[in-house]
Structures are given as C-alpha cells and as structure tokens.
Amino acid sequence: MGSDEIAIGWPSVGEGEGVDGEGSRRLSNTPRLSKKPRPQVKPKLSTTTPKLPLLKPKFPQVKPKLLYVCTGNAARSVMAAVITRHRSDLFEVKGAGTHVIEGCPMGMRTRQSLASLGMSDPTHRSTQLTQYNANWADLIITMAPDHVAYVRRVLPEYAPKTVTLKRFVKEFPVAQTSSPANSSANGALTRSSRSSSLQNWLQEQVKQMELDKATLETWEEIADPASGELPDFLETLGEINQLVDEFLAQFSSNK
C-alpha cells in the first residue's frame, strides 16, 4: 500500500484542527470554559465599639500571713483565727497544731464559746503544723511556750518568726516604728499598697525581734481548756479575745 492510499483513508486536517481529525474538529467546536473572577465581598464595618470584659489585676493584693498554733488545732488557735478574721481584713489567717488528728471540725464547746461573740467557722478542719504551712506564714503565733519549743526543735528554720501571742503583744516594737497601716504619705496610701508594704514591714520588724533567741517563760502560756467544761472555754476565749484586740490595735487603720 502506498502513501496516497493512506491519505485517501483519512480526511484532511483543517486549519486550527489537531492531528486527531474528526475528534479534533468536535473539540474545536466545543466552547472553552473560562474562569470567572470571584466577586469581591467587602467586610461590613461595625459602627459600634465592641464591649470588652473587665480585666482583673494580674497580681492579687498581698496581705501579711498569720498562722495561729496550739496543740490540737481544736480550741485556742481556732478561737484566735476566727476572732482575727472577724475583726480585721488586713491579714490572711490560718490555724494549725503541733499534735493534730487531721480533718476534724471544731468541738462543740469551742463552737459554743465563739457563738457567744456572734462568730463561727463551720468550714474549720484541724491541720497539722508542717514545713509547708510554716513556710507560708509571715508570722507564727503560738498559744504557749511549749509550741515555740516544738518549732525550735522540729522546724528550727522557722523559729525566727515564731512567738507566743502574749510575748508578741508585750514586746512588739510598734512604739519605735509606726505601722504603714497607721500612716500614709500625704494621706494617699491606697489599701493595696498599704497591705503590700505592711507585709514587708512586719517581716522586717519580726526579724529585728530575734525571736529564736528569746528565753521562753511560763507567763506566756494561755491555758488549754481541752479537759474543762464550757466555763473554762469561755474564760480562755475571753483572754484570747483581749489579746487579739491588743494585737490588731497595733495594725489598725482608718478604712
């Protein structure tokens, strides 16, 4: 077969047609699809200012931390802690004991005694004195010299900030240096700055007292009412109530 026979068997390719003959003619007659541009959507501009949530301060207000300590964290330290919380908002207050059955609520006579002052703490649970809560405190206030001796023996690194309530009230050097809570620069010291500076001031004053070198004496003890009846608890409450008032008087401020 010659080349002319091959030419006769295939139709000629027209202008603009591909080498595939009829198939190319069908494709060339098919309209080409063109990409249409996407419509431009303009963002809607709000004419009102969005309301943003109020931001809380990044750093919370700093308060001096008090840890009241007795033997079982069931009576004396509970009374002192509850009274302090009710009388002042200058401090963070916790309680603990040197020999504690953990997690017990306050006893009935302690609860009745506090009720005579119109006070209560239904959430109280007894807590053992440990390195953790001793480290938390700026000042550890005990009810008897035996508790100070316990800290010196078991947690000696915290002895410089441990003192009986009676000794602190008697010897705290507030007469020589006025508390920041009692004074303000041009009367413009805010509560937040007052609390922050009060913590630093208290730490410095406690350091100057050299509490770890103090000789422990019997007059420092507040009697434990644990083995007594309600009148004994009320007597102890009365003594602690007066001592806490004297303690807070040294830090009181005009709010």
Tokens describing residue 153: 């023996």
Which of 201, 245, 235 is CA-nearest to residue 86? 245
Where do the H-state alpha helices sit in the chain?
3-9, 22-29, 76-87, 108-115, 131-136, 145-154, 165-171, 191-209, 230-249
| Mean confidence (pLDDT) of the chain | 80
SS3 95: strand
**Average pLDDT score over residue span 216-231:** 96
The reply to whether the predicted model has a pTM over 0.85 is: no
Go through the domains of the chain in sequence order and give each one's CATH number: 65-249 (3.40.50.2300)
pLDDT at 227 over 60: yes
| 58 — pLDDT class (breaks 50, 70, 90) | very low
| 197 — pLDDT class (breaks 50, 70, 90) | confident
pLDDT at 7 over 80: no
pLDDT at 115 over 90: yes
Which of 130, 128, 120, 253 is CA-nearest to residue 195? 253
Count CB atoms within 10 A of the CB of residue 113: 28
| 62 — pLDDT class (breaks 50, 70, 90) | confident
Q: What are phi and psi of 66, to 5 degrees?
A: -110, 135
